Amino acid sequence: MGSPLHNPKLLSLEAAVARRRELAAAGKRVVLTNGVFDLLHAGHVYFLQAARAQGDALFVALNASESVRQLKGPTRPVVDTPERAYCLGSLSCVDAVVVFGTPRLDAEIRALRPDVYCKAGDYTLEKLDAGERAALQQAGTRIEFLPFLPGFSTTSLIARIKAAGEI
């Protein structure tokens, strides 16, 4: 029996590229963002809704668990890839989820050629990975840094959960 977490928004890169082409042919603007989205919280949802408002469809590139460990250490992610993808796919503001297994997103950017790329306001153009930034520039993608909602982070949420467990 397959996983009970049916997720029609979870697409292979090839299927996402095909969907992106359909949207482009219909004159629709595709927004791309990426991240870990571990322990989905209000800050994530706020950001994803703001990203979706930048275009007609929001594609989320989700770091696979292996790449999360490379970026954040051996104890992360707390929630494994299929569950994180399922939670993202359940949001009405998300149109597609693509899992990628490398620490950087440049190959996916080159394949998807999004109209807009969004990151939270704690990033700047200088903080973007050089390879990702070059791929975005080559694709002619507009880069948007959206307002950062202070007080929400997975790291602080994990600390609060640990503290609550010690009460």
Q: Please give the pLDDT value at position 36.
A: 92
Q: Please give the pLDDT value at position 103.
A: 81
The answer to whether position 64 is within a domain reads yes
Q: Where are the beta strands (DSSP E) in the chain?
A: 30-35, 57-63, 96-100, 116-120, 142-146
Q: Please give the pLDDT value at position 165.
A: 77
pTM for the structure as a whole: 0.89
The answer to whether position 3 is within a domain reads no
The answer to whether position 5 is within a domain reads no
Q: Please give the pLDDT value at position 167.
A: 57
- What's the total number of domains in the chain? 1
Domain containing residue 124: 13-165
The answer to whether position 65 is within a domain reads yes
CATH number, domain containing residue 97: 3.40.50.620
What are all long-range contacts of 82-87, with beta carbons under 8 Å and residues at least 24 apart?
A: 82/3, 82/5, 82/7, 83/5, 84/36, 84/37, 84/38, 84/40, 85/7, 85/10, 86/5, 86/7, 86/10, 87/37, 87/40
Q: Please give the pLDDT value at position 1.
A: 41
Give me the average pLDDT of each 10-residue run along the chain (167 residues). Answer: 79 98 98 92 92 98 92 87 96 98 92 96 88 96 87 68 70
